[in-house]
A and B are shown apart, each in its own frame.
Chain A
Amino acid sequence: MSDFREEEIADWYDQHSKSVLTFILLMVKDYQQAEDLTHDTFVKAYLNYNSFKHNSSEKTWLFSIAHNLTVDFLRKRKPSIFLKEAFLSQKDNNLLPEEIIKIKENSYELYSALGEIKDTYRKVIVLRKIKGFSIEDTAKILSWSESKVKSTLFRAIPILKKN
């Protein structure tokens, strides 16, 4: 049983790890944290494999785990960021480690523009537009209602455009 489980998770990792990592990366804007959170996502998926009900795709399930972990992480990190900014008046311009992760020149502008907007707007754009999830799946991942997904996205697009 556990072998089967491991195989399945390994399979999922091969298919989705990059997508999960980039999603988290776009949220936390720090490669090392994104990698750690991806690690945690798959470990959690392994541990709670039995509670996966198969009423959505495994990708949606993995993304909701990743989303919850990221939100917890951001919530935890917020006060320290606030302090850092207040005392050092420094914006976290975490550069990506070039040899590990690369973003093509013409998309880099978009990547940084996404970094400027509000968390809720960012994640709805990332899930709907970049990852191509359906409204239903996005609602499941964020545990929002479908109409909230729709209206937030509607508001988010013009703001991204402005940046």
Chain B
Amino acid sequence: MKKYYEDGFDDQSLEKLEDDIMWNKTQQRELKDRIFIDVEKFESQEKKIPNMLVSIKQISLVRKLTYSVLAFIILFGLFVGSAFVSPAMANVVSNIPYLGQIFQSKPILGLINDELKEKGYNIGTIGMRYQPKKVIEVSIEGSDDYYKEIKDDVEKIVKGILKSRGYDAYSLNVNKFVAKKDYVLKVANTNVSKIYTTNVTRVTVNATKADKGTQIISTITEGLMSKKEYKVTEVGYTSKPLTFIIKTSILSSDPTAETLGTEIESMITEFVTSEEISSILENEPYEIIVNSKDNKKIN
């Protein structure tokens, strides 16, 4: 029994399709020759795999490799990119101690200076004050008009740099550079008494090699001072015996004082014991003291 379908495709027409497709005989013979040429080539060369026209394995291998390389590049990009967004993020991701990163990167003032110079601004001085408030000061050289023109841009750039480092403790002060007159040493008339005469013939400056503390103290200072959460107001050290003294704005009566103290201490310890720094310190013993606002040790 034959089945007929409404639209006319029935079993018969399906069967007929096979015969209705006609393949050129010469083409068929040519293909046959090609097959046997390839087969003989294989036999004579003893190759493991003859050349298949539609090679699938190789391509997919190349593809797999491309995909994995691409994926790796993207992941690596994200990894590095996230580190650029915030150092805190980089810290979480890479487990490089926060202070270690600053040590590896440029000091903040140098960075601001380079960035502004690169943009072509005429900058007089860039400075940083810790007392009474933490302020970064940028003074612009040039006319009033020029100052007004670039003030906003400079502010924006510097704020951007501070933000990119995650430094939130500073307020920014952009002002006009006022050249100070050379300091004039007024020497009182010495002729009044002729008993003393001073002859300055030579000035000797004792250049001493920076001791181990100085090499790392700037990093600790920048790292701790630049974030509000650490509440650090002063960083000091004595070289013999090596002691780091950190003063914070927290009161010793504050319940979180001790946590902050230990946190700061562990940060410094982590930094100091990192490979790079411990090679500078050469196992010199050190002490860390974190003081509260009312001068009580809180770590």
Show the binding face of A for B, using Cβ within 8 Å: 2, 6, 9-10, 13-14, 17-19, 21-22, 25, 33, 35-40, 42-44, 46-47, 69, 72-73, 76, 99-104, 106-107, 110-111, 113, 125, 129-132, 157, 160-162
Contacts and interface: CB of A to CB of B under 8 A. Distances in A.
B20 A103 contact: yes
A132 B50 CA distance: 32
A25 B54 contact: no
A33 B54 CA distance: 8
B24 to A, nearest CB: 5
Interface residues of B, number: 34
A21 B24 CA distance: 12
B54 A69 contact: yes
Interface of B: 5-7, 9, 11, 13-18, 20-24, 27-28, 31-32, 34-36, 38-39, 42-43, 50, 52-54, 56, 59-60
Contact of A13 (B13, B32, B54): B32
A107 B56 contact: no
Given A2-B43, A17-B28, A101-B24, A130 B54 contact: no
B36 A6 contact: yes
B20 A107 contact: yes
A100 B27 contact: yes
Contacts of B20: 103-104, 106-107
A125 B9 CA distance: 12
A21 B28 CA distance: 10
Contact of A73 (B9, B11, B14, B56): B56
A72 B9 CA distance: 30
B35 A39 contact: yes
A99 B28 CA distance: 12
Contacts of A33: 54
A110 B13 contact: yes
A84 B28 CA distance: 31
B247 to A, nearest CB: 63
Q: Top 10 nearest A-B pairs by Cβ distance?
A: A107-B20, A36-B53, A104-B20, A129-B14, A102-B22, A100-B24, A161-B5, A42-B35, A72-B56, A107-B17
A17 B31 contact: yes
- Report whether over half of chain A's contact residues are helix, strand or loop; otherwise say mixed: helix
A130 B32 CA distance: 24
Given A35-B31, A101-B23, A40 B18 contact: no
B14 A130 contact: yes
Contacts of A130: 14-15, 17-18
A107 B60 CA distance: 37
Name, among B23, B42, B50, the residue most crowded by chain A CB atoms within 10 Å (CB to CB): B23
Contacts of A160: 9
Contact of B21 (A2, A9, A38, A107): A107
B54 A113 contact: no
Contacts of A43: 35, 38-39, 42, 50, 52
Contact of A129 (B11, B38, B52): B11
14 contacts: A37-B54, A39-B34, A43-B39, A103-B17, A103-B20, A107-B13, A107-B17, A107-B21, A111-B21, A129-B15, A130-B17, A131-B18, A161-B5, A161-B7
Contacts of B60: 76
A54 to B, nearest CB: 21
A25 B50 contact: no
Nearest to A125: B14
B271 to A, nearest CB: 50
B21 A103 contact: yes
A69 B54 CA distance: 9
B27 A113 contact: no
Nearest to A79: B63
Given A19-B18, A107-B17, A125-B14, A6 B39 contact: yes
B9 A39 contact: no
Nearest to A32: B53
A61 to B, nearest CB: 16
